[in-house]
Amino acid sequence: MQLIKLDAIDSTNDFLKALARAKPLENYTTVLAHQQTNGKGQRGARWLSEPGSNLIMSVLIHNHRVPTSAVFHLNVAVAISLLKVLQRYHIPDLSIKWPNDILSGNQKLGGILIENLIKSDQSWEAVVGIGLNVHQKDFKELPKATSLYNISQQSFGIEQLAQEIVAECRENYVYVAQQEVATLWHIYHAHLFRKGVPSAFELPNGQRFMGKILEVTTEGQLVLEDEWETIRHFDLKEIQLLY
């Protein structure tokens, strides 16, 4: 893979998107940053990271053979790639919190943000942003966050982790490209955080209710059964899991 190392950047996703618009890049071109000053997360949140302590990367993936209707399959493939790498390092109790957070127990280890670029010839490519807490020890106002070091008391090679994650993404993306994603979805649902467990949810208007997660659809919607036994579907910004 082509690896671009940066000392400090506002956003690795923004940098890689601009570079991809400016010139052709080889598949799986990866940007790795020591520090990110304006990282992005889901729901428009900022991704905050202690300089030099964590994995901050973006990967360009060409999607010429995959219909845009299959976009969420890529999210699933990337999440599973992270799980597989972390399992090698014996990180315990790993799960995927819908849509793209990676947890150990109830604590967040990292997250994924995928942004798609539609090109003039109607082909498209994805910029996959990955943030993983590696050596950071203190999360101050983020009590639900943790790091690989806090869990294992071991040090990790950040560039080595990046290379392993990209290698897993390459392997799992083959299933997406061939539209043979049943195995990926089985693994995703097997590791879906609080699937089938009574949990509290909150709507944007502040209303709270109890329900159980049933599944995630191929379009990325969360499907749950609420306390009144009604099956409901939600998009990303329409509901929040409280835990």
Per-residue pLDDT tens digits for 118-137? 776 667 789 999 999 999 99
Lowest mean pLDDT among 6-10, 139-143, 179-183: 139-143
Q: Are residues 131 and 225 in the same domain?
A: no
Tokens of 90: 């014996």
**Res. 66: pLDDT tops 90:** no
Structural domain boundaries enclosing 47: 3-190
What is the model's pTM? 0.92
The CATH number that applies at residue 224 is 2.30.30
Provide mean pLDDT across the span 48-58.
89
Based on the structure, what is the number of domains in the chain? 2
Q: Are residues 90 and 209 in the same domain?
A: no
pLDDT at 50 (0 to 100): 84
Q: Are residues 184 and 231 in the same domain?
A: no
Question: Nearest CA to 129 among 5, 33, 65, 235?
Answer: 33
Q: Are residues 185 and 204 in the same domain?
A: no
**Res. 43: pLDDT tops 70:** no
Q: Are residues 161 and 222 in the same domain?
A: no
The CATH number that applies at residue 92 is 3.30.930.10
Provide mean pLDDT across the span 64-75.
80
pLDDT at 214 (0 to 100): 98
Q: Are residues 30 and 74 in the same domain?
A: yes
| Band (32; pLDDT cuts 50, 70, 90) | very high
Per-residue pLDDT tens digits for 189-231? 999 999 999 999 999 999 999 999 999 999 999 999 999 999 9
Q: Are residues 121 and 48 in the same domain?
A: yes
pLDDT at 45 (0 to 100): 52
Q: Are residues 89 and 170 in the same domain?
A: yes
pLDDT at 124 (0 to 100): 79
Question: Nearest CA to 20 among 128, 112, 169?
Answer: 128
pLDDT at 193 (0 to 100): 98
Q: Are residues 234 and 181 in the same domain?
A: no
Q: Are residues 178 and 75 in the same domain?
A: yes
What's the whole-number average pLDDT of the chain?
92
Q: Are residues 151 and 119 in the same domain?
A: yes
Strand order in the sheet with 30-36: 3-9, 30-36, 55-62, 124-132, 107-118, 101-104, 94-97
